[in-house]
Amino acid sequence: MIVTDSFEENNLIAKEYKELLKISYQSLSKDDRKLIRLAFNISVDAHKNQRRKSGEPYVFHPIAVAKIVASKIGLDATCIASALLHDVIEDTEYDAKKIEKLFGKTICKIVVGLTKISKLKKEKDVSLQAENFRKMLLTLNDDVRVILIKIADRLHNMQTLDAMPVEKQIKIASETLYIYAPIAHRIGLYDVKSELEDLGLKYTEPDVFNEIKNKIEQTKDQQDKYIRSFSRRINEKLKKQDLKFKISGRPKSIYSIKDKILKKNISFEEIYDKFAIRIVYKSENENEKFIAWKIYSIITDYYTPNPLRLRDWITSPRSNGYEALHITVVGPGSKWVEVQIRSERMHEIAEKGYAAHYMYKQGKQTDNGLEGWLNRLQEVLENSDTSALDFVEDFKLNLYSTEIFVFTPEGDLKSLPKGSSALDFAFSIHTELGLKTRGIKVNGKIVPLSLELKSGDQIEIIKSDKTKPSSNWLDYVKTSRAKSKIRSALKEEKKILAEDGKEILRRKLKQLKIKFNEKSVNDLGNYFKLKTSLDLFYRVGIGKIDNVALKQFAASNNNRFINFFKKRLTTKKEINHLEDEVRSNFDQIVFGNEEEKLDFSIAKCCNPIPGDDVFGFITINEGIKIHKQDCLNSISLQSKFAYRIIKSKWIDSSQEEFSSAITISGIDNLGIVNEITKLISNSLNINMQKMSFDTEGNTFSGKITLKVKTKNILNKLIQRLRKINGIEKVIRE
């Protein structure tokens, strides 16, 4: 029974429920509808007294998550019911026993898994977000559907983020870009991934987002016209072959356009593939490949293909199951156009990812299938020796990697992330084989363990029981599996040596008439600047801390107070130096809602200047560092270390000047350098610190380091420089 505060809200909730049943990707039986109805009623009852930040009844959130699960991810009635109940245990009087009694073990297990993710405790000195990430992925051990519903939950939270305060928006959006979008990408939910990325960008870099969005909207009519022009020529020929198909345009996401602008260092106008043309055809499964190449042949009869841009993911699908034929051709007006050729089955898998795999499952799973990937992922997740931050960074490396395909000596095909080494291959076969690798042959020749593999290589492992991994191996491997196994082996070796070291230390301290207890071990750790007792015992075990070092420790009187005094002197000296640096180099910045004046330094990675949107990051050893909001490290810092972010802003930029650099390139006209320097010195009264120019053929490139007062003056200069005849690009570093 629906119970809320108003008749109008009741009607809206009922309308949402009916829409949920209509948009379900799966066909729902009578029992399915009964299950969803029961979950809906329980959710409405459980949340009847709750409201969201926006003011609307809370129950709209679980209904919206269920709609995403039903339509965008394409899951079944069990998942739809679980989505409707996903916040019930956490926020209301309904507990796990009640849910199990009403809905059975499967739904209860999924809902409990979702609740566990939300109830994580913050651990000292470890990023909460990294632990959150690991914990979320660990739910795969119970049921992968937990992650899929969690992604749907995050998508709806991002869609309704406007109601949150700005600081919360940036934190949630950063975490989304850092964690959830990559997982959606890897599971094959490309539409969800694109929406998460665009919404993430909307809140982390709103100016960039709005600028690209406006430009896309301005060029939409032009793009639609171009797609019609491209399609007209091949449409008739495809129909003559009795093919049933649909041609449409797929615009590139705002986030991917921004990514390309940054990576390629180009403008919006210079991006040639702002959209792709997609051809989806009907076919029996056994004829899919034949028809795809038939369509390819027809397209290339009219438009010249770029052979370097051919991607055949039908013969060798991606590890997340994605299949398609991608080609790039010269279209009307001599423009490059990407064409994606897919069957309806391939299209469903591309759109719905995991769910569509089950709909079209045809028996055996290959090593490249999603289930194979999930099994390999679980091995890494279950390795508790890897720190949360190491785990996140290693795992993310593999999320976006493109793949290579290599062969075992027997000719079996194995997929690895691009950039994988010969040693990665050994660990992908078996952990013990990796740990005992003495040498590797690639295509019959012995090669270094660090050799980067290429598609088509055939690899043979030379094994020795006497071989042990070294810390250098971590530099040789790329995959998270190999890194986690090497770290575990090294840690085990360290523990064995530490046990020996502990006994040696006990004997040495006895000789020095020092008691072996917790206090003396802590004092030794502080004296040698070590973090843990394990580090201390290990260094004693390998002889790095010897008799001489231990005697020096024993001879130092009141070393704890001396060290404390030295530390105070050092800190004062550092602060004085920092204050001088702030006075001579940096403008005034204030922190927090109270606008406090604190010591800070400028981050070298992005070099912000007055006028830039900035935030403060509290480092462990170097005080507060100031970063630009669009710094390349911003997403990672705001997501992993949100509790160390401090709100910051410039308050005065009239008295100081700041260093900034610009790069200029273009066609080398006579007198162009003189024109540039004249504009800078005379027109805007800006001081140049350093200038260098190089020419090659009829082009030039240069770098100028300037002293400017504000971002506005720098932007004004860049705009004027771009108007000089011959200059192609002016970019602030």
Which region, left, alpha or beta, applies to residue 325 given φ > 0 means left and ψ of -120 to 50 means alpha? beta
What is the distance between the alpha carbons of residues 174 and 389, in angstroms, rounded to a whole number? 16
Residues 6+ away with beta carbon under 8 Å from 119: 90
SS3 content of the chain, % helix, strand, coil (to 5): 55, 15, 30
The letter for the amino acid at 23 is I
What is the distance between the alpha carbons of residues 214 and 218, in angstroms, rounded to a whole number? 6
How does 273-297 read in b/e, with b if 16+ C-beta sit within 10 Å? ebbbbbbbbebeeeebbebbebbbe
What is the distance between the alpha carbons of residues 430 and 435, in angstroms, rounded to a whole number? 9
Report strand pairing: 275-281 vs 245-251. antiparallel
**CA atoms within 13 Å, Cβ hemisphere of 171:** 15
Query: Hunting for tokens 């914990």 — which residue is that?
Result: 135
What is the distance between the alpha carbons of residues 102 and 105, in angstroms, rounded to a whole number? 9
How does 512-523 read in b/e, with b if 16+ C-beta sit within 10 Å? eebeeeeeebeb
Question: Using N-to-C axis directions, what is the helix angle for 145-159 and 128-138, rounded to 10°?
Answer: 140
* DSSP code, position 305: B
Closest listed residue to residue 692, CA positions, set 675, 673, 678:
673
SS3 337: strand
Which region, left, alpha or beta, applies to residue 607 given φ > 0 means left and ψ of -120 to 50 means alpha? left
Query: Hunting for tokens 């949360």 — which residue is that?
Result: 388
What is the distance between the alpha carbons of residues 618 and 628, in angstroms, rounded to a whole number? 14
Closest listed residue to residue 605, CA positions, set 626, 623, 624, 582:
626
Q: Residue 344 to residues 280, 366, 412: CA-CA distances in angstroms?
A: 6, 21, 30
Query: Hunting for tokens 């162009």 — which residue is that?
Result: 672
Question: Using N-to-C axis directions, what is the helix angle for 145-159 and 60-67, rounded to 10°?
Answer: 120
SS3 83: helix
Cross-strand pairs, 694: 701
Cross-strand pairs, 440: 447, 461
What the block records as the tokens of 448 is 């270094």
How far from each other are the two terminal CA atoms of the chain, in whole angstroms? 61
Question: Using N-to-C axis directions, what is the helix angle for 190-204 and 145-159, rounded to 10°?
Answer: 40
**CA atoms within 13 Å, Cβ hemisphere of 114:** 29
Q: Residue 654 to residues 199, 430, 587, 599: CA-CA distances in angstroms?
A: 36, 63, 9, 20
What is the distance between the alpha carbons of residues 440 and 447, in angstroms, rounded to a whole number? 6
Q: What are phi and psi of 504, to 5 degrees?
A: -60, -45
Catalytic residue among 91, 191, 211, 390: 91
CA dihedral 198, 204, 210, 216 (to 10 degrees): -30
CB 588 within 8 A of CB 651: yes
Catalytic residue among 90, 371, 574, 613: 90
Closest listed residue to residue 377, CA positions, set 360, 351, 396:
396
How many other β-carbons are positioned within 10 Å of the β-carbon of residue 466?
6
90 is catalytic: yes
Element (H, E) at 449: none
Q: Residue 223 to residues 178, 230, 267, 448: CA-CA distances in angstroms?
A: 32, 10, 18, 50
| Active-site residue set | 90-91
